[in-house]
Amino acid sequence: MKKIVIASDSFKGSLTSALVAESVERGVRAVFPECDVRRMYVADGGEGTVEALVDSTGGDRVRCTVSDPLRRPVEAIYGVFGDGKAVMEMAAASGLALLTPAERNPMKTSTRGTGEMIRHALDRGCRTLLVGIGGSATNDAGTGMLQALGFRFFDDAGCELGSGGEILGRIAAIDAAGVPAEIFEASYTVACDVTAPFSGPAGAAHVFASQKGASPEMVAKLDAGLAHFAEVIKKFNGADIRDLPGAGAAGGLGGGFSALLGAWLVSGIEMVLDAIGFRAAIADADLIITGEGKLDAQTAMGKAPRGVLDAAREAGVPVVAIGGAVEGADELNRQGFAAVFPIVPGPVTLEQAMESEQARANVERTVEQIMRTTQTKPKQ
């Protein structure tokens, strides 16, 4: 083996992408000490995206105080690359994990903090923003984010509206006169973890709002509000987002981003791979090693290992995947993985399997054994 590229997602709750890569490299070098090993940290646009991209590019972590989903102060972290790009996760400001179960109410929760984080990056001079929008606590179609950036929303009596999903059905007019020029000068690439349309039976409210605290009655109101807001947007600037794949991501945040900020909606792993120059890095590789905490049927649905696999197949490079657990190995092989390996050597509890030092040792041992299968012994 002359060159191996490591491109694993984190093993959530156990190892970061960087720690997985470090352990994989030790396993490779135990067998091929002179191998050119390239570590590339990846994520699927959700949790761990900022960390993966900052570590891959040698960027900086930036802290700022923004509003949480209920407009309380919270510290959020985003990343800035050397070329001035910024990468952020909306969940850092507007995520479900910031609320207790009793506080979850998408009629009230707002994406305002996400807009404040964007504003903070723009004030630093960033004009290219990569935004992962998984893990939201909101269903406000991005109105809170847009308000933080200078947009205003009015009802049919000309009164300015507040925040939360409850305002969607009452919006009669959009005012962008107070939006600073740099908001529109910036480019936005948004990583969507779902392809849901803006509204309807498969849309943001019907599919996801209940897990954010919505009752059936709230779901119906939120869906009607999204449909209404889509019509208002269409009258405002001609953008039709009703059936746009990904517009329903993060409670309609994808749609608000696309319609009013001109954002590109892409798969999370594609955004990450493009940002780290993955395709150029693997052009002369002999093997790619990827992985995530659990490899199963959902791996094919936009997860990081599948994105790595798709790019590798274009380049004709084989991919081996490792995971804390593996289900459906036959299906994973049919998808195109050359081989898949669980890293746990025997029966253990979940807590033992996820213990960081044990997981690192398991990754290293498994990769070393994989490498041994590729050795070519000289003839006697």
Q: Where are the alpha helices (DSSP H) in the chain?
A: 17-29, 49-57, 91-94, 112-123, 143-148, 181-185, 204-208, 216-237, 249-261, 268-275, 278-281, 304-315, 329-335, 350-354, 356-372
Reply yes or no on whether the pLDDT at 75 is more than 80: yes
pTM score, whole prediction: 0.86
Specify the 3-state DSSP secondary structure of 276: coil
Residue 70: φ, ψ to 5°: -105, 20
Query: What pLDDT does 371 receive?
Result: 96
Answer whether 4's CB lies under 8 Å from 38's CB: yes
Quick one: pLDDT at residue 83?
76
Asked whether the predicted pLDDT for residue 314 surpasses 70, the reply is: yes
Q: What pLDDT is attached to residue 333?
A: 94
Please state, in angstroms and rounded to a whole number, the distance separating the CA atoms of residues 3 and 318.
12
- Tell me the H-state helices in 149-267: 181-185, 204-208, 216-237, 249-261
pLDDT at position 300, please? 74
Percent helix, strand, coil in the chain (nearest 5)?
A: 45, 20, 35
Phi (first) and psi of residue 63, to 5 degrees: -105, 140
Q: Is the pLDDT of residue 102 over 90?
A: yes
The conformation of residue 128, written as its DSSP 8-state character, comes to: E
Q: Which fold has domain 49-269?
A: Glycerate kinase, domain 2 (3.90.1510)
What torsion, rounded to 10 degrees, do the Cα atoms 356, 357, 358, 361 define?
Answer: 120
% of the chain exceeding 90 in pLDDT: 81
Q: What is the pLDDT of residues 159-193, one digit of tens each?
A: 999 999 999 999 999 999 999 999 999 999 999 87
Q: How many CB atoms lie within 10 A of CB 102?
A: 7
Residues 56-60 have a mean pLDDT of 88
Structure tokens at 314: 């274009």
> Which tokens is 215 given?
């009752």
Q: How confident is the model at residue 376 (pLDDT cuts 50, 70, 90)?
A: low
Q: At what angle do helices 268-275 and 49-57 cross, to 10 degrees?
A: 10
For the cut 60, the answer to whether the pLDDT of residue 377 exceeds it is no
Instruction: Give the start-to-end residue ranges of the domains of the chain.
Output: 3-38+280-372, 49-269
User: How is the beta sheet containing 339-342 ordered, strand by strand?
Assistant: 36-39, 3-6, 287-295, 319-326, 339-342
pLDDT averaged over every residue in the chain: 93
Segment 106-121, tens digit of pLDDT: 999 999 999 999 999 9
Domain spanning 3-38+280-372: which superfamily? Answer: Glycerate kinase; domain 1 (3.40.50.10350)
